Structure 1
Amino acid sequence: MKPKEIQPQENLTKWMEFVLLDFADVPQLQWFLFALFLVIYLCILLGNGTIFLITKVVPALQTPMYFFLGNFSFLEICYVSVTIPKMLSNLWTQKRHISLVACATQMCFVLTLGGTECVLLAVMSYDRYVAICNPLHYPLVMNPKVCVQLVTGSWVSGIPVMIGQTIQIFSLPFCASRINHFFCDIPPILKLACGNTFINELLVYIVAVLFVTVPFLLILVSYGKIISMVLKLPSSSGRAKAFSTCSSHLTVVVLFYGSAIITYLRPKTQDTAGTDKVLSLFYTIVTPLFNPLIYSLRNKEVIMALRKLFCKNFSS
């Protein structure tokens, strides 16, 4: 990791406003991108909102697995609502300015919600591990009190760390104000900083390992034990049923963690801005968009709940 040269003191500026370049390099596509991301945002709200609703009102889905899924869907709504509305506003008005406070606030929420998603995905894998590997103890281990504690821990565990991460990044002096991204994320913000950012980048790696790599390893351990147990089942139908209950969650894990790990833990070069932007689209937009489809298309209980809900509404 090559340290940056320390700029002369007179060149250091206290920037109070940044410019989010997002997709300004393709001016001919601004209205198309606005329409595209607006449709995607509405689909995310509708899809995840529906999943959240049915897990709360359908009695058949009042189980720990769907309790976690409902919270995950609500989290996805919060996650995209931190980034997409500002991006839509930029595309609509072509005014891409964002104040330092607003940028820091957006980053803090993105980091906190991203950390929550990492931990919650690990909790969901633990739920599947207990259900498949210790089915007799499942009602006792995953009782309502434990489920609430696990979800609460997922939501609050990263708050102090991510606030501290945001403060230490925005305490840096900045030599430029043009952010080559569609939201205030760590890598493009650090590229604007003056002087040596080695310590800051080291802290980013430590936090990324803590909230991305550790939960991911826990997921791998859980699924390693699940696969080992499933392969020992005598009937092929039993194996297929066990795998089907895990495949949806595993697909979401691959989408989210794959892009997040590459974004935050790979070595940085001067030419990674475009790659970071594309990868960020996966864990901030693509995963929330496909989450309802993945869980509904691959889950018979969710499909039945949706049918009952829609039939009840249409008949009334």
Structure 2
Amino acid sequence: MQDARALTELSSIKSVSPVVTSNAVAAVHEGASHSIAQLVGTYPSYFEAMNKPVTAGTYFVNDDVRAARKVMVIGRTVAEALFGRTDPVGRSVSVSGVPFTVVGVLKESGSSGMQDGDDVAIAPLPAVQQSLTGFGSLGSIVVQATSAAATETAQAEVTTVLNQRHGVTSATEADYRILNQATLQETVSAATGTFTVLLGAVAAISLLVGGIGITNIMLVTVTERTREIGIRKAIGAPRSAILGQFLLEATLLSLVGGLSGVLVAFVGTRFTIAGIEPVLVPSSVVLALGVSVGIGLFFGSYPANRAAKLRPIQALRHE
């Protein structure tokens, strides 16, 4: 706590929020129970610093911190697990046997890595220390700079203050670690970009292999139906009719594959994988079906042209 108080004196710092956390905390409300993935004890400034707006109720305030009131703001996952469709604001939740009153519900944030970002509860720091964690060392200190431009300056000032307070003379001796959200965001963005490129490469190879498969299947179909094509041409079927028929068959074959993929994706959204809940985006479904049609037309064009160019006499002689 002394470190946190010292950081509040820095000119480039807007707010300082000391944080303690407790994981897998049992919560009960009228028979419904849920293990909260993370219970955070902190100050009201934490909500702004970590960009955690509420959609119902309100935040707790500094008076709640000073009085160590047992109030809390809960995430959407916790709200649905304990209250279902009922408005949780103003209701009591037993957290490890200690009653807390819900004053707000956080805006849904979704999954973060392997963790459900909505499976969280935030309460005043002293209340959490009294009830769960004790008054030992803080887990972390969240520091918000006065502006985005002041982030690097703030980090340098924080480093200087902590080095002085901890007697650190070199980076290798530091008994603390500073995580810059801007740097973390850049790292995550770079990793996401690389992952996207890899997925794109895998998808492109899959489409190529699938397209070649469609071409081979349609070539075999043309060979097996050579006499049929010859008979149709002999009775007056135009080249465009033959071409259209085989293009349609190739497109339908590709579209069936696309629909199968969409169906598998839909089934996959019913399950939570490693704490991540998949979401089926309508625009992605449309794109998948559109690409399927394009693949069918492109890779089916060669077999269709080959069928359309067959001469009736040669086709009728085919055994």
| Greater fraction strand | 2
Higher RCO structure, 1 or 2 (CA under 8 Å, sep 6+): 1
Fold-level similarity (TM above 0.5):
no
Larger Rg: 2
TM-score (normalizing by structure 2): 0.24
TM-score (normalizing by structure 1): 0.24
